[in-house]
Every structure is written in structure tokens, then in C-alpha cells.
Amino acid sequence: MRTKSFVALLTIALFVAAAPAYAAQPEDQQSAEKGADAQSHSSSHEGWKSDHEHHHGNPPSAAQIEEHRLAKLRYMAKYFGISTEGKTADQLKNELKAAKVKDKDKWEAFKAEHQAKRLEHLKRVATEHGISTEGKSADQLLDELRKQRRAEEKKQTVPSQKTKVKES
């Protein structure tokens, strides 16, 4: 019993001693560290939309999903030369369906262009994570990125091995 109380008191003493040391850190240094963290975070996500605020575990709201959907439809409409002024998402969707049927070659070119952009994006992200990209398809790169992320998540969630303290 004495060992447990000694360990508890020692732990509390360490926490009490560490708190003033952390609090004594200059405010400028703390804000500089936060700024550096934010800068590294933003540079690692180049190419993402500036309003891309959600993360895993914090899904986008219905309004954000709808806005993203509308933005994609507007982008496609612009590619096909369709006016977007005052049109709803459903109107744009119907006009795009008609444009796909009318101009199949342009639709195939649009798909090929976006598949190439997606592959380049995946290659860049895979390279940032140390994954070889040579000769791999978009699906292969995506699978490897997912495997790596799962492995990293698994490492973080593995419970630490606790050793039992013998009572004396």
C-alpha cells in the first residue's frame, strides 16, 4: 500500500512541478509554435479548397455537401459551355445529362482530364507519404494510402502494456 501511495504522490509532485515550467514559457514562443504548426498543416494540404474545414470524425454538414455538389455541377457546366445563372442543382444536372449525350467526345475528354488530375494528386500525396508511385494506377495508390493510414491509426490506438506492481 505504501508503494502505491508513494507512486501517486510522486506523480502529483511531477505534475505540480511541470505546470509552472510550462506556464513560464513566453507567449511569443507559444504563438510562434502555433503559427508554425498551422503553416505546416496548410502546406501539407495544398490543392484542397480553402473552405475544406472538416476532418475524419467531423463530417461535413448537409449545407457543405450541397455547396460542394453545386460547385462541381457549375464546374462541369462551365466546361460544357452551359450558363449557370439562376439555375438549381437539378436543372444543371439535367442540362449536363443532355450535354453528355449530345457531345460524347467532349464528355470522354472531360472524364480523361479529371482521371489524370486525380492520378497526379494521388501520386503527390503518395510521394509525401513515402510510397513509390512508379507504374501504379490510381486505385493501387489509393489502396496503399488507405493501408498506410489504417496502420498508422492502429499504432495510435494500441493500448500500452501496463505492468503490475507487486504489493509489499
Alpha-carbon distance 93 to 74, whole Å? 9
The full DSSP string for 60-79 is: PPHHHHHHHHHHHHHHHHHH
Alpha-carbon distance 40 to 34, whole Å? 10
Residues of the chain with pLDDT under 70: 1-56, 159-168
Could you tell me the CA-to-CA distances from 84 to 45, 53, 100 in Å, in that order?
Answer: 29, 26, 16
pLDDT of amino acid 7 = 58
pLDDT of amino acid 48 = 46
pLDDT of amino acid 155 = 87
